């Protein structure tokens, strides 16, 4: 491992603070390092490996497509992308899908769609502003950084893309004031702010945002990059709140381990994008799409009920643990605020064989949606001991 650490530190851009662990193989919710040490994975590559490591159905789908055609451009038809788009539309009520390679790219597409719709409606850019929420996170491109409602991201990479204003989550009056004064084309939000600290938006507020968008002819864009694909106990987390977004963006768990992003377009904007207005070389890649079809096929009611059941196990196991201040989130996207720094607890847990994450000042849990209960409880026992130390 020392050689790999040296090579990494020498040749890879230093954009990550890496845990001194080199993972080499895994199965399900267990991963192993170069020394054969076993870890229970509660992070899944940041909500990506939703059926765990070396998932047999995903491997079969990916390798079958890989042996036929690994890539073709979007100048031709591709069966895996077409099937995946059909499945996404049929299960959400959306009408069209644009495929890309990441959550940031999916959000870029959503932003472009909202602004082009406004331009086609008004004939100019007078209604190009998009409202996002303070504490939000929408990606690391210049424009999605601009959309992100955290001042800490708006420092060293300027000038940033104009046309974004930020509202306090839960404040419907501020939202209405911004909508009336800025010339807005959309509101963009996460129902649970992931990188913002696993902050859950109130259902009544989400209803109010949706109604305001209808009143002002704005699009509602819901960022489901982290919350989606079964993570929160519904196929997409907005489905908990009886709202109908105009655009839904997703990525991470949809690919099961390969890069894919998807922007789902509803009836109000299904035909906004036309030939030449947007594109992606690798978007809808046949191998990634085939893997995503196998993932989406298995996100059913039984799996989703299991997600909520495991949430209950976690909350019960951590109830009354000394040192825990609060638990936020939904399903298997949970944040644990402790009296001690989250980073220190996560580092100690890794030494004891449990891999977790952080989000702001919280421990972040994003395990596989089908993690065996006995492994989950074993990991929680280790976390409890480290939190209480």
* Confidence at residue 371, expressed as pLDDT on a 0 to 100 scale: 98
Token pair 């789902």 is found at 264
* Confidence at residue 83, expressed as pLDDT on a 0 to 100 scale: 98
Burial letters 116-152, b for 16+ CB under 10 A, else e: bbbbeeeeeeebbbbbbbbbbbbbebebbbbbbbbee
Q: Pairing mode, if any, of strands 362-365 and 357-359?
A: antiparallel
Percent of residues, the chain, with pLDDT higher than 90: 96
SS3 call for 290: helix
Q: How confident is the model at residue 2 (pLDDT cuts 50, 70, 90)?
A: low
Whether the pLDDT of residue 71 is over 90: the answer is: yes
What is the overall mean pLDDT for the chain? 96
Tens digits of residue pLDDT in 320-369: 999 999 999 999 999 999 999 999 999 999 999 999 999 999 999 999 99
Tens digits of residue pLDDT in 37-63: 999 999 999 999 999 999 999 999 999
pTM for the model stands at: 0.96
Whether the pLDDT of residue 118 is over 90: the answer is: yes
Whether the pLDDT of residue 70 is over 70: the answer is: yes
Whether the pLDDT of residue 177 is over 70: the answer is: yes
Cα distance between residue 191 and residue 193, in whole Å: 6
């Amino acid at each position: 491992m020392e050689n790999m650490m040296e090579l990494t530190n020498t040749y890879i851009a230093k954009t990550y603070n890496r845990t001194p662990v080199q993972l080499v193989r895994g199965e399900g919710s267990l991963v192993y390092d170069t020394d054969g040490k076993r870890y229970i994975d509660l992070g899944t590559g940041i909500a990506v490996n939703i059926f765990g490591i070396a998932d047999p159905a995903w491997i079969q789908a990916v390798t079958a497509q890989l042996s036929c055609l690994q890539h073709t451009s979007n100048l031709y038809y591709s069966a895996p992308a077409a099937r995946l788009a059909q499945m996404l539309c049929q299960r959400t009520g959306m009408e069209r899908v644009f495929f890309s390679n990441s959550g940031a790219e999916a959000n870029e597409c959503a932003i472009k769609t909202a602004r082009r719709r406004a331009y086609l409606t008004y004939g100019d850019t007078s209604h190009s502003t998009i409202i996002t929420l303070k504490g939000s996170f929408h990606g690391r491109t210049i424009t999605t950084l601009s959309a992100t409602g955290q001042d800490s991201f708006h420092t060293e990479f300027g000038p940033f893309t104009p046309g974004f204003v930020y509202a306090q989550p839960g404040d419907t009056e501020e939202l209405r004031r911004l909508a009336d004064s800025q010339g807005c084309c959309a509101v963009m939000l996460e129902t649970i702010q992931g990188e913002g600290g696993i902050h859950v938006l109130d259902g009544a507020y989400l209803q109010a945002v949706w109604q305001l968008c209808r009143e002002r002819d704005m699009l509602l864009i819901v960022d489901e990059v982290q919350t989606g694909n079964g993570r929160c106990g519904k196929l997409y987390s907005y489905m908990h709140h009886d709202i109908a977004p105009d655009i839904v963006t997703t990525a991470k768990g949809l690919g099961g381990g390969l890069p894919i992003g998807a922007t789902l377009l509803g009836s109000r904007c299904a035909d906004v994008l036309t030939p030449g207005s947007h594109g992606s070389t690798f978007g809808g890649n046949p191998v990634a799409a085939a893997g995503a079809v196998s993932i989406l096929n298995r996100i059913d009611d039984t799996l989703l009920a299991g997600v909520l059941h495991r949430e209950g196990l976690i909350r019960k196991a951590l109830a009354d643990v000394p040192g825990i201040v609060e638990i936020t989130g939904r399903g298997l996207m949970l944040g644990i605020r402790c009296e001690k720094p989250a980073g220190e607890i996560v580092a100690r847990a890794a030494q004891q064989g449990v891999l977790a994450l952080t989000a702001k000042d919280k421990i972040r849990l994003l395990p596989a949606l089908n993690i065996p209960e006995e492994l989950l409880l074993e990991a929680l026992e280790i976390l409890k001991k480290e939190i209480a130390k």
